[in-house]
Structure 1
Amino acid sequence: MPFPNRRRAGLALAALALAALTGTAAQAQGWPDKPLRIMVGASPGGGTDILARMLAEKFAADFRQSVVVENRPGASNTIAADVTAHAPADGSTLLLATNTGQAIAPHLLKLKFDPLKDLQPIGLVAVMPNVLVVSSSSPYRSVKELVAAMSASPGALKYASSGVGSTQHIAGEAFALATGTKAIHVPYKGSSQAHIDIIGGEVTMMFDSTSSAMGQIRSGKFRALAVMSERRAAELPDVPTMAEAGVKGADVQTWYGLYVTAGTPRPAVDALNAELAKVLKLADVQARIRGLGGEVGTLGGEAFADMNRQEYERFRKLVREANIKADGL
């Protein structure tokens, strides 16, 4: 996914500034008047969970309400989205989602909600490149060595993901298409569970988001072979891009966005837009996102909704071309 150009980002920030004014009025009207919850479609410890808890802490302080994070992993992150879509439209149930549930899963699963109609986009929180990682004890020290092993023994190596249809799954299939290789996909209910088997050698590799893999990379448990973005990640300056490693056409990034139940009153939506814009400007929040290998989101409201629609169509095409099926669910 290309990052928004400066003009578009500027317009989005102006919209967020306007939302900040109306958001203040919304709080004056008494919203939120009860505790909030942020639904997360992944297990504790993963990238989505980390960002959700960061937002919950900031929201709780500013809104002077309890804000809890509820993890509902499974079904390509759509269980949490389903809960949010069917929650009372009072602004008390939020969703921190990724392109897994909002743009990929709808083309693989029969859902009981429409992610484009039943969830109201609030804003883009962050964009993280996916990164190819292996255990630090793995014999593979480069993408070239890994591709050679996969070519020599098609289907012998395994790659983990946080679930069927996740960005990790899509990234693995994109890598296979770009290199003409084959590996066995092993889906988990979250990145943190997959990490255990990567470290233990049960699974060879993972095309994880930097937000969930960075801790393992820094601790020395993971070896990063390449980032799946156009440019190197600021926090991984010595790790080449896939193109630099000799593989073109395998760029995949994971984006994280905040949503609320569709039909939520406009004052509450505007207040959430304003609060997210405020939080994303905080130095410690920006440092945290950069520390996870990502870039801070700049799109709010309709600009973010438009990006979601574009991503929805882009992944519809990719799923069809790669012939990805929802097996294992």
Structure 2
Amino acid sequence: MTTRRALLAAARWTALALACAGGALHAQPSGDRALRLIVPTSPGSSADVGARLVGDRIQAASARPVVVENKVGAGGSLAAAYVAAAAPNGDTVGILGNTYQLFAEEFPSQKFDPVKDVVPVALISRGANVLLVASDSGYGRVDDIVRKARSQPGRLSYASAGIGSSTYHSAERLRMASGLDLIHIPYKGSPEAVQEVIAGRVDFAFAPVPVALSFIQGGRVKAVAVSASRRSAQLPDVPTTVEAGVPDSSYDTWLVALVPARTPRAVQLELNRVFTAATATPEIHAKFASLGVEPEDAGLDETQAFVAREYQRAKAARARMANAK
């Protein structure tokens, strides 16, 4: 039975959705409570940049305060668990990458179930991770890394944004597909991992294209390959890991807005309209393109069907990796 609280939440979000969809900067705020966007990674990371861009657009269109909060730790599972435990009124939204779907297996102590505890309400963007090496490392291709790793098993190292992050899974897909023995060194976020590559303390790292671009353009690192199933529009000359000669090594990334599972469907629908209205603007399209990611505008049912399919794919890939160890 719909409660009065749920009806009020839906009414607030209807007002906000209409403001965003119409670009009505003069619209009344949908309440004095801030919309909190919970990000699992450090400032400057792909999820953080995406959340801030979309949050700025939502705030400009609705006049409602939008606050981005970075809750870093345990590969993103701390943020996911925080969102799951929030009040189901639409005021707290997690902006997470697809890796949240495997948190139950990778961080069992968090007691987080990606199917029962949260529900996706909007796809934000799709992107890719790029394999980076230091400019003076001597590596020029994926094959250089593979050959050296095979000649020195257990000696080469890679950095990631932590176990469970998309950068970790990109590297693990490459490692498993190549049959390599590598040392994994986790960091708080991708910016920190890239700095370790530059400093020469690790051999390579995967990083989201938005994070990597400035380092690549500044000549501090070289882009060797992208982990996605297709090339990045921002790095058209950089091959995919499959094109570079490693079959079954691709790993696609996407960003999604999540809310507590008990959030009323009416609120879910309005949140979907809010986020898709924001990502549909020419401003966001241009900014996302400059960062190497593609905005999404799927409806609620389409979003939830897509995420459900991807969950089954992620579980299957996880099982294959476990069996190969």
3-state SS in 1 of match to 2:38:
strand
Distance (whole Å) between structure 1 residues aligned to residue 318 and residue 263 of structure 2: 32
Where do residues 224-243 of structure 1 align in structure 2 (5 Å cutoff)?
224-243=223-242
Distance (whole Å) between structure 1 residues aligned to residue 20 and residue 261 of structure 2: 17
Match of 1:318 in 2: 317
282 and 100 in structure 1: CA distance in 2 versus 1, 3 angstrom threshold: same
Where do residues 172-187 of structure 1 align in structure 2 (5 Å cutoff)?
172-187=171-186
Match of 1:15 in 2: none
User: Which structure 2 residue ranges, 5 or more long, are not aligned?
Assistant: 1-12, 22-26
- Deviation at 1:46? 0.6
Partner deviation per Cα, 1:40-83 (whole Å, 9 max, x = no partner): 00111111100011111111112211111100111121111111
Partner deviation per Cα, 1:121-178 (whole Å, 9 max, x = no partner): 1111111122111112211011121111111111111011111122221221211222
Match of 2:98 in 1: 99
- Residues 1:54 and 2:47 aligned together: no
Partner deviation per Cα, 1:217-275 (whole Å, 9 max, x = no partner): 22222210011223321111111122221121111121101122233344433322112
Distance (whole Å) between structure 2 residues aligned to residue 310 and residue 148 of structure 1: 35
8 Å CA contact retained: 1:121, 1:259 = yes
Distance (whole Å) between structure 2 residues aligned to residue 22 and residue 62 of structure 1: 8
- Residues 1:143 and 2:142 aligned together: yes
Return 260-269 or 289-298, whichever deviates more.
Answer: 260-269
8 Å CA contact retained: 1:209, 1:253 = no
Distance (whole Å) between structure 1 residues aligned to residue 305 and residue 31 of structure 2: 27
Q: What TM-score does the superposition give when structure 2 sets the normalisation length?
A: 0.87
Distance (whole Å) between structure 2 residues aligned to residue 114 and residue 176 of structure 1: 27
Q: What TM-score does the superposition give when structure 1 sets the normalisation length?
A: 0.86
29 and 279 in structure 1: CA distance in 2 versus 1, 3 angstrom threshold: closer
8 Å CA contact retained: 1:107, 1:319 = no
Match of 1:69 in 2: 68
- Residues 1:215 and 2:214 aligned together: yes
Return 45-54 or 262-271, whichever deviates more.
Answer: 262-271
Match of 2:9 in 1: none
Return 20-29 or 69-78, whichever deviates more.
Answer: 20-29
Distance (whole Å) between structure 2 residues aligned to residue 64 and residue 287 of structure 1: 22
8 Å CA contact retained: 1:26, 1:271 = no
Where do residues 1-329 of structure 1 align in structure 2 (5 Å cutoff)?
23-24=17-18, 31-101=30-100, 103-110=101-108, 111-323=110-322
Match of 1:10 in 2: none
44 and 161 in structure 1: CA distance in 2 versus 1, 3 angstrom threshold: same
Distance (whole Å) between structure 1 residues aligned to residue 149 and residue 229 of structure 2: 24
- Matched residues, percent identical? 35
Counterpart of 2:162, as a letter, is G
3-state SS in 1 of match to 2:172:
helix
- Deviation at 1:317? 2.2
3-state SS in 2 of match to 1:260:
strand
8 Å CA contact retained: 1:23, 1:268 = no
3-state SS in 2 of match to 1:323:
helix
Distance (whole Å) between structure 1 residues aligned to residue 128 and residue 308 of structure 2: 20
Counterpart of 2:18, as a letter, is T
User: Which structure 1 residue ranges, 5 or more long, are not aligned?
Assistant: 1-18, 325-329
Q: Which has the higher contact order (CA 8 A, sep 6+)?
A: 1
8 Å CA contact retained: 1:128, 1:210 = yes
Return 294-303 or 125-134, whichever deviates more.
Answer: 294-303
- Deviation at 1:93? 0.7
